[in-house]
């Protein structure tokens, strides 16, 4: 689906603080639901949303669905049972999430989606997501330059059920495939996991010892890939990620991973809470349900300005 509205990241930058969980049966409660917080991107979303909610005077209920659609349904039931005034959600699947959001809507609870869109409109009040295609093209352009427009490379792809995994991969290939001397020798899903990426990279490297580069669908997998490459003594292999995590920032500064693409995780989450607040208080709905935020290339030139999915001035 075409995403139509762009939001300006700079206008929403702020300092965040982690709050505490809501008491039972809070009169003004916002539920914040994301995948597991062992991924720093999803943790940043939760922290950002909670900070903005508390700033606006709400109690919060922070939960994780661990990318499990059944668990997502359960935690949304919890939010409904606790009488949440709104749900901020980074969902567990574009198709699997529709019924859960409709259930919340039928209970009178509006949903504001971040990071991942769903395949229908008119159920969530807002879908605020990164411009994954634009970001992937930025990353691919940098990858092509780093590779010198030639050489064998591998791609690590995210969870197949995640819409973003496919969008990023398409964005990569719409750039890289224009360079006939860049040869894709392996493409495997590591499910956004650092541990899986490490194991997949070991296997790829054994089968393709002449590999020159790796382009990854997220930073967590990029960290797994660089660890496997370094363990094999292959510090020459170029690795590019996607997300803008502090871990990859530090790797870039140390000469490991060469580049990543920053998604505005904090800003997305905070904008969602601001829009939820406007809806709760005044029934104000955004001009467009689907709203798009551009990504930013991070490399050795600006890595020192990156802090928790935002660029410092």
Binding-site residues, in ranges, read 39, 115-116, 162-164, 168, 218, 243, 263
Count CB-CB contacts under 10 A for residue 51.
21
Give which of 179, 166, 218, 174 is closest to 197, Cα–Cα: 218
> Strand, helix or coil at 124?
coil
H helix intervals, 151-207: 163-176, 194-207
What span, in angstroms and rounded, lies between the C-alpha atoms of 227 and 285?
45
Residues flagged as binding site for D-apiofuranose = 39, 115-116, 162-164, 168, 218, 243, 263
The strand order across the sheet containing 238-240 reads 182-189, 151-157, 213-216, 238-240
How, if at all, do strands 182-189 and 151-157 pair?
parallel
DSSP 8-state symbol, 294? -
- Nearest alpha-carbon partner for 267 in 52, 118, 18: 52
């Amino acid at each position: 689906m075409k995403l139509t509205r762009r939001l300006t990241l700079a206008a929403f930058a702020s300092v965040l603080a982690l709050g505490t969980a809501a008491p039972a049966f809070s009169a003004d409660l916002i539920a914040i639901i994301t995948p597991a917080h062992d991924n720093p991107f999803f943790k940043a979303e939760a922290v950002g949303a909670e900070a903005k909610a508390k700033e606006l005077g709400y109690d919060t209920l922070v939960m994780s669905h661990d990318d499990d659609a059944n668990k997502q349904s359960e935690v949304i039931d919890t939010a409904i049972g606790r009488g949440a005034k709104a749900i901020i959600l980074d969902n567990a699947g574009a198709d699997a999430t529709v019924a859960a959001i409709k259930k919340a809507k039928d209970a009178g609870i509006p949903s504001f989606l971040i990071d991942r869109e769903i395949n229908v409109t008119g159920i969530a009040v807002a879908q605020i997501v990164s411009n994954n295609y634009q970001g992937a093209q930025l990353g691919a352009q940098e990858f092509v330059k780093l590779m010198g427009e030639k050489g064998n490379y591998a791609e690590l792809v995210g969870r197949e059920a995640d819409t973003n995994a496919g969008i990023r991969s398409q964005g990569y290939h719409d750039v890289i495939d224009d360079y006939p001397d860049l040869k894709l020798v392996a493409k495997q899903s590591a499910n956004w996991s650092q541990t899986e990426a490490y194991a997949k990279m070991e296997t790829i490297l054994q089968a393709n010892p002449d590999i020159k580069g790796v382009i990854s669908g997220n930073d967590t997998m990029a960290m797994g890939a660089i660890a496997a490459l370094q363990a094999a003594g292959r510090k020459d292999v170029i690795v590019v990620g996607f997300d803008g995590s502090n871990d990859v920032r530090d790797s870039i500064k140390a000469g490991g991973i060469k580049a990543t693409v920053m998604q505005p995780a904090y800003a997305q989450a905070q904008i969602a809470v601001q829009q939820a607040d406007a809806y709760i208080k005044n029934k104000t709905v955004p001009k467009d349900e689907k709203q798009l935020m551009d990504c930013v290339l991070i490399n050795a030139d600006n890595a020192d300005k990156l802090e928790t999915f935002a660029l410092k001035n």
